[in-house]
Amino acid sequence: MSVDFWINVGVLAGIYGIFTLGLQLNAGFIGLLNFGQAGFMAIGAYAVGLLVVDFGWSLWLALLAGILLAVIGGLFVGISSLRLRSDHFAIATIAFAEIVRYVLQNAEFSGGNQGVLGYDEEWRTLSDWALAKLALIGLGDYTQLPLFIAVWLAFLVLLAVLIVLQGTPWGRVLRGIREDEDATAALGKNVFAYKLQSLAIAAALAAVAGFFVALNVTFLYPSVFDPTFTFFGYAMLVLGGFASYGGVVLGGILFWTLLEGTRLFDTALSAGQQASLRFIIVGFFLLLLSRLRPQGLLGNRAEMRVRP
Amino acid sequence: MAGSNEAGKADALQPHGAGTLRLSRPVLLLLVIVVLFAALVALYGFDATAQATVNGLVAGGYLGLGAIGLSLILGILKLVNFAHGDLLVAGAYFTILFGWLGLPLVVAMLFAMIATAALAVLTEKVVWQPLRQAGAGTLQLFLSAIGLALVLRFGIQFFAGSQVRTLGADIVSSITIGPIHLGTLQAVALVTGLVVMAVVGLALRFTGIGKEMRAFADNRALAEVSGINTRRIIDVTWAASGFLAALAGILYAVAIGSFNPNFGVTLLLSLFAATVLGGIGNAYGALIGGLVIGLSQEWSTLLLNARWKPAVGFALLILMLLLMPQGIFGKARRRS
Amino acid sequence: MGVSLKAGLLAGWTAVSILAVTATGPAAAASLDLTIGALLESTGPLSELGPPHEKATKLAVEAANKAAKDAGFDATVTLTSADSQGDPQAALSAARTLVDKNAACIVGPATTPESISVLNGITLQRKISLWPTATSTRLRTVKDGGTIFRTVPADDLQAKALVLAIEKHIGKGKNVAIAYRNEPYGDALSKGFTKNWEDEGGKVVATVVYDPQQASFDSEAGQVVASNADAYVVIDYPETYAKFGAALVRTGKFDAKKLFVPDAMAFAKVPDSIPGEAINGAYGVAAGAPTGTESVALFNKLWDEAGGVPNTSLTANIFDATILCFLSSVEAGSAEPGAITGKVRSVTQEGAPQFTIANLGDAVKAASAGKPIDYVGVSGAFRFMENGDPSSSPYDVFQYQDGKQVTIEQVQVQ
């Protein structure tokens, strides 16, 4: 029985792992405090849902469009707000994500409070096909397994791409900007352009994560894209390791195991108290980690620098 | 104002710093407000506009009052305190606790403000001071604040539950002035906000500790060299922030009628908006910022469906950050 | 869509009936170990609903265990709960936890988005009956394989009941102003009401939408009364109405006798947080109970004796859902999810002997003998249509008089 539960944890760890890769690229490698990731995720997910349901697009084409729209969103946020100091930028990006959420909840085009449903036929066909194959090796009962495989394939491929990018001259400039923005600028690098690129890529990653969220919940609704999930992403990031892509994998697995695993305990507490306790634990976790090992489990302390 | 170097630098925290450019911003704001008011009167009539204006001042009063503490922390300690909204909640729930212990409501409120101030100082001792000593970066501080916010909010929910609570005040009695209706408690909250703003502003300007706080905010190293007890300043700042947060939370809780532990986090972004709008670290600014946000949100209900009201606040926040990052009363930002 | 929907329903039904056939019969004498799962809004935007909903499920499980004991029927009912966080994704995770803990049916969640994600993610596949308190008509059209049952009426019935009530007490073709809390429930019900009201020749002069957590509700309240409507419809939960209602009163122009509220605002006793001027004299509609009054009194007594959070709306519906799951399990003689799902109609069968919470022990006796019964709940009798919704039913029109709910008549809604 429990296998299902852990497949679910794996799916969430994978989805928010992709999401957090973007945060890592921003915060970990160029020193950009992007707190609007949930907003980009919402843009990607809703684009997929609406293009399929309202315009009859293929799911896969809609995914590409969703990524594109999220990138446009990232460019828009970046061009307007990148010149702000880092804490102001963080607040501005949260506000952006909240505006996206309020628009989705209140506008007509997005289905408003009634959400978006029925965009996942193509995925279900594929998933059923995969399940039939899995049944051959005795795994046909785990209906979430195809999604798990798809999410982790995407996660690992994107991870590999980012690691490769990190070794290129482009990646080295990013780190240079984080270490000393003025010096990098003095070397003739366009710091603004690099930051913008980093943000756009993060938005694209958020859109991919949003696509998988859409497949997982089968129903798009604004509360799925609450800013809390951006905070969760950062928790995964610092848990796994600052400026470490591998850390995102570890952080994702540990964080979701913690968050979902705490549901499993049977305590004498009331349901309300137990639910509160889960978030108290997450809160303490963030506090302790920031204090005791700010660079995370796989991070390197020397990398830990975000300029004000 | 051009006395010593220290005093000259310390004008970050007061409205009448110097320089025509800075003075013109509040005037400009006042002009914009007057013009908008006139336009709305022309479009929607005096009664509706005046009522929306009063509603805006009330909503803005809570936000402004809540933002003063946030602004002090941000201005003096350079800390983005995501847990501030939950200090408002703590104030309201401490009041319930002391009321439950048998104290009369007003006494319970006073005790709650003191208890919240103590709680704020405690967070400084347990969380912020060690982090500062370890030389924590912005991201570390952000995450700690988020963690602390979760611990506070769900800690309160753990003990008090998430069902709605009420402080049992009379929330329907109202004052009628011509065509305008205003809840009695709302009026009390608004007046309290104005008084507190004046008190904090004056205290910052004229008391010894206030002057030291401003000096500290402006140049920490210099303040330390000149023999100021920085530890004490930080503690006082936290105590004041907690006390004011509790006051704001209690007034909100009393006047709105019912609440649960979520109310702080839902107000938080508006509090940030008020802080940024007013100019970080400025007591007058925070309240004026709150009032401007309240006004724009309530005025927006004349133009748009009220469902867009929260989004209007966020949009204003972004606009202000982009157009006037130093706020209405803040001075041009130096690189830190 | 239509064809595949029918095919889906058909397939689901075939599966259910096969299961039902295999599950009936010899199991009746064996002991029953039933786990009921509850999806609660313990945290998140609807967290004020968490504690009362939790208490409703607890009371129901206690009542179920007591009834089994009274009937001398060897059964243990356990409650397991999880936090759905007001979020479809978290709700799905929470539901998986419940299933992992052997929940045979799931009571809750409170919103339509959560319900759909839980349905598609897990309960449909495992034929676990899902008992949401969400009221959107959308839940009627999703492919649920006959697993969704609602003890709350869907919006369209409720909208018609509101229309009838207003026509009766204010008049036909009048002007109505609507205000609702910004979420799926208010949104859908407001649309449904508007359509029905306008079809009947009435006018909707204002639709005001407000967020539940904001610093002031006075402008919104002002818009409602400024519309000069003959009647107001406010779609809200008591927890938020405490704030909005006070703002309505503060406008100085509000007359509670012109106010009409849906079942989410139906409570036996007005909560302390809602000012009397905001509610006394107001009319409301809720699914009617043919023999309801006695059950309602008993339920309120149970609630008050248990201590803790005060009673609020929809708790009776949640209580009933939990009891129905238990009785279906007794009727099936099994704690197997599909078997329970297949027996829900056998414990709410029209014409069968009627039972209420006053004689739940007798209901268990009858059900364990495999006889069909008709459980008449605290929130009314249940006639589940093929889509799991209650069918056309009598609606109580009530009025709040001196802080108490007084039923004044019944209307028939189809």
DSSP string, A221-242: -GGGG-THHHHHHHHHHHHH-T
* Six-digit token string for C236: 């809200």
Give me the residue label for tokens 């009435």: C202
Query: Cα-Cα-Cα-Cα dihedral of C81, C86, C88, C90, to 10°?
Result: -50
CB C158 within 8 A of CB C177: no
Nearest by CB: B171 against C42, C220, C275: C275
Q: What is the pLDDT of residue C9?
A: 46
Residue of A nearest to B130 (CA): A291
- Asked if A34 has any chain B CB less than 8 Å from its own CB, the reply is no
Question: Could you tell me if residue C396 is inside a domain?
Answer: no
Residues 188-247 of A with CB under 8 A from C: 213, 216-219, 221, 223-224, 226
| CA distance to partner chain A, nearest, from residue C51 (Å) | 7
| Residuewise pLDDT in 10s, chain A (308 residues) | 488 888 999 999 999 999 999 999 999 888 899 999 999 999 999 999 999 999 999 999 999 999 999 999 999 999 999 988 888 898 899 999 999 999 999 998 998 888 898 899 999 999 999 999 999 998 888 888 999 999 999 999 999 999 999 889 999 898 888 888 888 888 888 899 999 999 999 999 999 999 999 999 998 999 899 888 998 999 899 888 888 899 999 999 999 998 888 888 777 888 889 999 999 988 998 898 888 887 778 877 666 655 44
Identify the segments of chain C with pLDDT beneath 50.
1-29, 290-291
Tens digit of each residue's pLDDT (9 = 90 or more) over B75-124: 888 898 999 999 999 999 999 999 999 999 999 999 999 999 999 999 99
- Asked if A163 has any chain B CB less than 8 Å from its own CB, the reply is no
Residues C321 and C279 both lie in one domain: no
| CA distance to partner chain A, nearest, from residue C396 (Å) | 28
Question: Could you tell me if residue C259 is inside a domain?
Answer: yes
Whole-number Å distance between alpha carbons of B240 and B230: 15
Q: What is the pLDDT of residue C272?
A: 84
- At C1 the three-state DSSP class reads coil
Cβ–Cβ gap B256/C243 under 8 Å = yes
- Asked if B257 has any chain A CB less than 8 Å from its own CB, the reply is no
Q: What is the pLDDT of residue C25?
A: 41
CB B284 within 8 A of CB B277: no
Question: Could you tell me if residue C392 is inside a domain?
Answer: no
The secondary element (H helix, E strand) that includes residue A186 is helix A181-186
- Asked if A301 has any chain B CB less than 8 Å from its own CB, the reply is no
Strands (DSSP E) found in C338-392: 354-355, 374-377, 380-381
Cα separations in angstroms, A238 against A287, B142, B143: 11, 12, 9
Residue of C nearest to B252 (CA): C215
Q: What is the pLDDT of residue C210?
A: 93
Whole-number Å distance between alpha carbons of A131 and A135: 6
* Six-digit token string for B129: 């001071």
Question: Could you tell me if residue B10 is inside a domain?
Answer: no
pLDDT of residue B336 exceeding 50, the answer is: no
Question: Could you tell me if residue B225 is inside a domain?
Answer: yes
Whole-number Å distance between alpha carbons of B209 and B196: 17
> Which residues neighbour C197 within 8 Å (Cβ) at sequence distance 6 or greater?
C163, C166, C176, C203, C204
Q: What is the pLDDT of residue A305?
A: 54
Whole-number Å distance between alpha carbons of C169 and B7: 71
Question: Could you tell me if residue C395 is inside a domain?
Answer: no
Cβ–Cβ gap B161/C272 under 8 Å = no
Question: Could you tell me if residue C228 is inside a domain?
Answer: yes
Q: What is the pLDDT of residue C288?
A: 65
Residues of chain B in contact with residue C251, where contact means CB-CB under 8 angstroms, are 181
CATH number for B60: 1.10.3470
Residue of C nearest to A108 (CA): C187
CB A215 within 8 A of CB A123: yes
- Asked if B316 has any chain C CB less than 8 Å from its own CB, the reply is no
Question: Could you tell me if residue C304 is inside a domain?
Answer: no
Cβ–Cβ gap B148/A94 under 8 Å = no
Count: domains in chain B: 1
Contacting chains of B (3 CB pairs or more, <8 Å) are A, C
pTM of the full predicted structure? 0.88
Q: Average per-residue pLDDT in chain B? A: 86
Phi, psi of C129 (to 5 degrees): -70, 140
Nearest by CB: B158 against A81, A99, A277: A277
Residues C175 and C225 both lie in one domain: yes
Q: What is the 3-state secondary structure (H, E, C) of B108-128?
A: HHHHHHHHHHHHHHHHHHHHH
Residues of chain B in contact with residue C278, where contact means CB-CB under 8 angstroms, are 172
Count: domains in chain C: 2
Question: Could you tell me if residue B296 is inside a domain?
Answer: yes
pLDDT of residue B3 exceeding 50, the answer is: no
Query: Cα-Cα-Cα-Cα dihedral of B197, B203, B205, B210, to 10°?
Result: -120
Residues C148 and C224 both lie in one domain: no
Question: A45-48 — which CB contacts under 8 Å span 24+ positions?
Answer: A45/A207, A45/A210, A45/A211, A45/A213, A45/A214, A45/A220, A45/A224, A45/A225, A46/A104, A46/A110, A46/A116, A46/A210, A46/A220, A47/A207, A48/A119, A48/A210, A48/A211, A48/A214
Residues of chain B in contact with residue A291, where contact means CB-CB under 8 angstroms, are 127, 130-131, 134, 144
CATH number for C230: 3.40.50.2300
Question: Could you tell me if residue C95 is inside a domain?
Answer: yes
CB C215 within 8 A of CB C159: no
Beta bridge partners of C77: C34
Q: Which domain holds residue B93?
A: 51-323
CB C213 within 8 A of CB B266: yes
Question: Could you tell me if residue B305 is inside a domain?
Answer: yes
Question: Could you tell me if residue C409 is inside a domain?
Answer: yes
Q: What is the pLDDT of residue C208?
A: 94
Of the candidates B83, B261, B70, the residue with the CA atom closest to the CA atom of residue A283:
B83
CB A197 within 8 A of CB A22: no
> Which residues neighbour B271 within 8 Å (Cβ) at sequence distance 6 or greater?
B63, B66, B67, B70, B84, B85, B290
- At C11 the three-state DSSP class reads helix
Count CB atoms within 10 A of the CB of residue C401. 12
DSSP letter for C48, please: G
Amino acid at B154: F
Q: What is the pLDDT of residue A266?
A: 76
Q: What is the pLDDT of residue C62?
A: 95
Give me the residue label for tokens 């709008």: B277
Question: A63-70 — which CB contacts under 8 Å span 24+ positions?
Answer: A63/A208, A63/A211, A66/A207, A66/A210, A66/A211, A67/A204, A67/A207, A67/A208, A69/A43, A69/A44, A69/A207, A70/A40, A70/A41, A70/A43, A70/A44, A70/A203, A70/A204, A70/A206, A70/A207, A70/A210
Residues C123 and C255 both lie in one domain: no
Cβ–Cβ gap B318/A231 under 8 Å = no
Give the model's confidence band at B152: pLDDT under 50 very low, under 70 low, under 90 confident, else very high: very high
- At C126 the three-state DSSP class reads helix
Half-sphere exposure of A45 (CA within 13 A, CB side): 31
Amino acid at A245: Y
CB B174 within 8 A of CB B184: yes
Cβ–Cβ gap A115/C184 under 8 Å = yes
Q: Which domain holds residue C84?
A: 2-152+314-382
Residue of A nearest to B316 (CA): A95
Q: Is C75 left (phi over 0), alpha (psi -120 to 50) or beta?
A: beta
Amino acid at A305: R
Q: What is the pLDDT of residue B18?
A: 44
Q: What is the 3-state secondary structure (H, E, C) of chain B?
A: CCCCHHHHHHHHHCCCCCCHHHHHHHHHHHHHHHHHHHHHHHHHCHHHHHHHHHHHHHHHHHHHHHHHHHHHHHHHHCCCCCCHHHHHHHHHHHHHHHHHCCCCHHHHHHHHHHHHHHHHHHHHHHHHHHHHHCCCCHHHHHHHHHHHHHHHHHHHHHHHCCCCEECCCCCCCEEEECCEEEEHHHHHHHHHHHHHHHHHHHHHHHCHHHHHHHHHHHCHHHHHHCCCCHHHHHHHHHHHHHHHHHHHHHHHHHHHCEECCCHHHHHHHHHHHHHHHHCCCCHHHHHHHHHHHHHHHHHHHHHCCHHHHHHHHHHHHHHHHHHCCCCCCCCCCCCC
CB C330 within 8 A of CB C368: yes
Strands B174-177 and B180-183, by their bridges, are antiparallel
Q: Burial level of C281, CB count in 10 A (0-12/13-18/19+)?
A: middle
- Asked if A285 has any chain B CB less than 8 Å from its own CB, the reply is yes
Cβ–Cβ gap A5/C96 under 8 Å = yes
Whole-number Å distance between alpha carbons of B302 and B10: 41
Give me the residue label for tokens 């941000």: B74
Residues C261 and C405 both lie in one domain: yes
- Asked if A180 has any chain C CB less than 8 Å from its own CB, the reply is no
Nearest by CB: B139 against A33, A85, A95: A33
Residues C142 and C24 both lie in one domain: yes
Residues 248-307 of B with CB under 8 A from C: 252, 256-258, 260-263, 266-267, 270, 294, 297-298, 301, 305-307
Residues C27 and C124 both lie in one domain: yes
Question: A129-137 — which CB contacts under 8 Å span 24+ positions?
Answer: none
Of the candidates C102, C96, C95, the residue with the CA atom closest to the CA atom of residue C79:
C102
Cβ–Cβ gap C117/A219 under 8 Å = yes
Nearest by CB: C242 against B257, B270, B294: B257
